Amino acid sequence: MKREPQKNEKAGDVLLQEINEPHEDQTTHKRSVWNVVAIPLLAILTGLIIGAILIAATSTTVYAAFNESFGQGLVTAWNEVITAYQALFTGSIGDPARIISALRSGDERAIRSAFNPFLESLVQATPYIFAGLAVALGFRSGLFNIGVEGQLFIGAACATYVGYAITGLPTIIHMPLAFLAGALGGAVWGFIPGLLKATTGGHEVINTIMMNWIAFRLTEWLLSGPMNRPGAGGMPISPLIEESAQIPQFFQTPIRFHLGFFIALGIAWLVWWLLFKTKWGLNLRTVGANPRAAKYAGLNVAKNYIIGMALSGALAGMAGGVQILAVNRSMALGLSSGYGFDSIALALIGNNHPLGVILASILFGTLRNGATRMMVVSRIPIDIVDVLQAIILMFVAAPAIIRTIYRLRKPKHEEETVFVSGWGGGQS
Amino acid sequence: MSKKILFIFTILMIGSLLLAACAPAAEEPTAEEGILVCQITDTGGIDDKSFNATAWKGITDAEEALGIRGTFIESQEVADYERNINAFIEEGCDLIITVGFLIGDATAAAAEANPEQLFSIVDFAYDPSIPNVVGQVFETDEAAFLAGYASAAVTQTGKVGTFGGLPIPTVTIFMKGFVEGVNYYNEIKGTNVEVLGYNIEDGTGLFSMDFSDQQKGRELAISLMDEGADIILPVAGPVGLGAAAAIQERGNAYVLGVDSDWVLTSPEYSNITLTSVMKKMDATTFSVIESVIDGTFTGGVEVGTLENQGVDIAPWHELSNLISAELQAEIDQLREDIIAGRIVLQ
Query: For residue A420, is pLDDT > 80?
Result: no
CA angle B78, A373, A317 (to 5 degrees): 30
User: Across-strand partners of B71?
Assistant: B38
Q: What is the mean pLDDT of residues B176-192?
A: 94
Q: What is the mean pLDDT of residues B21-47?
A: 69
pLDDT of residue B8: 64
Over residues A12-34, the pLDDT tens digits come to: 454 445 444 444 444 445 556 67
Over residues A363-409, the pLDDT tens digits come to: 989 988 988 888 888 778 777 777 877 887 787 777 777 778 877 77
Query: For residue B269, is pLDDT > 60?
Result: yes
Query: For residue A294, is pLDDT > 50?
Result: yes
Interface touch B74/A236, C-beta < 8 Å: no
- Which A positions 40-99 lie with beta carbon below 8 A of chain B? 42, 45, 48-49, 79, 82-83, 85-86, 88-91, 95-97
- This prediction has a pTM of 0.82
Phi-psi region of A303 (alpha: psi -120 to 50; beta: other; left: phi over 0): alpha
Residue in chain A lying closest to B43 (CA) = A334
Q: What is the mean pLDDT of residues A196-217?
A: 93
Q: What is the mean pLDDT of chain A?
A: 85
CA-atom Rg of chain A in angstroms? 24
DSSP characters over A64-116: HHHHH-HHHHHHHHHHHHHHHHHHHHHHHT--HHHHHHHHHHT-HHHHHHHHH
Instruction: Tell me the C-alpha distance between B74 and B169, whole Å.
Output: 24
Task: For residue A42, list chain B residues with Cβ-Cβ distance below 8 A.
Answer: 10
Over residues B110-136, the pLDDT tens digits come to: 999 999 999 999 988 888 889 999 999
Instruction: Tell me the C-alpha distance between B3 and A426, whole Å.
Output: 42
B23 falls in which pLDDT band (50, 70, 90)? Answer: very low
pLDDT of residue A425: 40
pLDDT of residue A38: 77
pLDDT of residue A267: 97
Q: How would you class A425 by CB atoms within 10 Å of its CB: exposed for 0-12, middle for 13-18, buried for 19 or more?
A: middle
Interface touch B21/A85, C-beta < 8 Å: yes
- Among candidates B21, B105, B209 on the partner chain, residue whose Cβ is nearest the Cβ of A86: B21
Query: For residue B247, is pLDDT > 90?
Result: yes
User: How far A63 CA lies from chain B's nearest CA (Å)?
Assistant: 21
User: How far B167 CA lies from chain A's nearest CA (Å)?
Assistant: 7
A179 falls in which pLDDT band (50, 70, 90)? Answer: very high
Count of residues making up chain A: 428
Q: Kindly state whether A258 is in contact with chain B, defined as any CB-CB distance less than 8 angstroms.
A: no
- Among candidates A91, A328, A379 on the partner chain, residue whose Cβ is nearest the Cβ of B79: A328
Distances (CA, A) of A313 to A266, A268, A319, A405, B68: 17, 15, 10, 38, 49
Phi-psi region of A115 (alpha: psi -120 to 50; beta: other; left: phi over 0): alpha
Pairing of strands B231-235, B36-40: unpaired
pLDDT of residue B334: 94
- Which B positions 255-314 lie with beta carbon below 8 A of chain A? none
Half-sphere exposure of A73 (CA within 13 A, CB side): 13
Interface touch A42/B10, C-beta < 8 Å: yes
Query: Which residue would you say has higher pLDDT here, B274 or A376?
Result: B274
Instruction: Tell me the C-alpha distance between A382 and A374, whole Å.
Output: 8
Q: What is the mean pLDDT of residues A58-71?
A: 85
- Of B238, B200, B207, nearest to B224 by C-alpha is B207
User: Across-strand partners of B198?
Assistant: B205
Over residues A246-273, the pLDDT tens digits come to: 999 998 878 999 999 999 999 999 999 9
Query: For residue A8, is pLDDT > 50?
Result: no
DSSP characters over A266-319: HHHHHHHHHHHHSHHHHHHHHHHH-HHHHHHTT--HHHHHHHHHHHHHHHHHHH
User: How far B272 CA lies from chain A's nearest CA (Å)?
Assistant: 32
Task: For residue B84, list chain A residues with Cβ-Cβ distance below 8 A.
Answer: 372
User: How far A207 CA lies from chain B's nearest CA (Å)?
Assistant: 23
**So what's the ipTM on this one?**
0.79
Q: What is the mean pLDDT of residues B12-32?
A: 51
Residue in chain A lying closest to B39 (CA) = A376
